[in-house]
């Protein structure tokens, strides 16, 4: 929280979601946002790197991967179903904190944190603005088709290899995972959103990301960095700050590689 904190004043609230298997991070990483007047809430995703516990019980395999945790029990017991609800509850908790302006809630995250941000926006439409970079948990079918053994969805291939090598349950497997696929939240998201990706991403495939991005119907802006992968994306953070403060408009695709065949000819292409 900003210091000194005056609960009689209304402050912006910021939800922060972390990447896969780590934790909410150090307090020092949040000081900059607090200094700018944000009340920051960063959650530890259950059963990952922080102290939050995962109490899910499942009859299926538990050795590798959280996407597939509970998949053999049906949609109601999927690990990420519980995590998505945790994120929505975190948004409600932040909105109810003393001194937080419920009309100015923000959310951000990268990789798994990006996927959780999208799920939260779908469940909590009152969030004011959001930022994601290379969000995980998008289009499991496509990620598997693109070679899950070598990308961040290797647990899908693992499940078939050890739980269903003849693929007799393939249809049921992917139908169940549809319940935790964030592309299905995208169409209902109206929150203005900035999205950043690196075209060399070998962890979260670009087509899987676009499965969600293309379904967003609200205001959106995409930053594409052709030479970067699933890593720190430079120069984007300043753009996000401007976006959160309402500086500048939405220009659709903003690419650093206007000569690539996937990009429109103009350096800044308007939607």
What's the pLDDT band for 235 if we cut at 50, 70, 90?
very high
pLDDT-based confidence at 7, cuts 50/70/90?
confident
Q: Chain-wide mean pLDDT for the chain?
A: 90
Distance (Å, whole) CA 91 – CA 120: 8
Would residue 57 count as lying in a domain? yes
pTM, two decimals, is 0.91
CATH number at residue 109: 3.40.50.1820
Given a contact cutoff of 8 angstroms between Cβ atoms, the answer to whether 105 and 13 are in contact is yes
Are 92 and 106 within 8 A, CB to CB?
no
6 found inside a domain? no
**How confident is the model over 163-174, as pLDDT tens digits?**
999 999 999 999
Of 182-186, 243-247, 256-260, which gets the smallest average pLDDT?
Answer: 256-260
Residue 99 region by backbone torsions, left for phi larger than 0, else alpha for psi between -120 and 50, else beta: left
**Catalytic positions:** 111, 201, 230
Question: 244 Cβ partners below 8 Å, 6+ apart?
Answer: 106, 129, 131
pLDDT in tens, 36-58: 999 999 999 999 999 999 988 89
Please name the residues in contact with 238: beta carbons below 8 A apart, sequence gap of 6 or more.
none
Tokens found for residue 221: 């802006």
The reply to whether 55 falls in a domain is yes
Crossing angle, helix 79-95 and helix 112-123, to 10 degrees? 60
Q: What is the pLDDT of residues 61-118, one digit of tens each?
A: 888 899 999 999 999 999 999 999 999 999 999 999 999 999 999 999 999 999 999 9
- Structural domain contains residue 1: no
Q: Is a pLDDT exceeding 90 seen at residue 232?
A: yes
Domain span holding position 220: 11-269
Is residue 103 included in any domain, yes or no?
Answer: yes
Domain count, the chain: 1
């Amino acid at each position: 929280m900003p210091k000194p904190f005056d609960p009689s004043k209304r402050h912006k609230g910021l939800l922060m979601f972390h990447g896969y298997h780590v934790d909410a991070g150090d307090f020092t990483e949040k000081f900059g946002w607090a200094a700018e007047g944000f009340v920051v809430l960063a959650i530890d995703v259950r059963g990952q790197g922080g102290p939050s516990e995962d109490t899910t019980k499942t009859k299926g395999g538990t050795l590798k991967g959280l996407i597939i945790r509970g998949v053999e029990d049906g949609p109601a017991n999927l690990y990420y179903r519980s995590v998505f609800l945790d994120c929505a509850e975190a948004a409600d908790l932040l909105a109810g904190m003393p001194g937080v302006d419920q009309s100015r809630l923000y959310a951000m995250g990268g990789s798994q944190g990006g996927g959780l941000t999208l799920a939260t926006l779908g469940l909590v439409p009152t969030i004011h603005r959001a930022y994601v970079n290379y969000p995980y948990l998008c289009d499991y079918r496509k990620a598997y088709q693109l070679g899950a053994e070598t990308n961040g969805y290797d647990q899908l291939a693992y499940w078939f290899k050890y739980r269903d090598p003849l693929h007799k349950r393939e249809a049921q497997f992917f139908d169940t995972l549809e319940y935790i696929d964030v592309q299905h939240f995208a169409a209902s998201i109206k929150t203005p959103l900035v999205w950043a990706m690196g075209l060399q991403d070998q962890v979260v495939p670009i087509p899987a990301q676009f499965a969600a991005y293309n379904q967003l119907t609200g205001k959106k802006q995409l930053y594409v960095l052709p030479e970067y992968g699933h890593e720190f994306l430079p120069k984007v953070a300043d753009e996000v700050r401007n976006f959160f403060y309402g500086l500048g408009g939405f220009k659709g695709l903003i690419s650093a590689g206007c000569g690539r065949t996937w990009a429109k000819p103009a350096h800044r292409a308007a939607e």
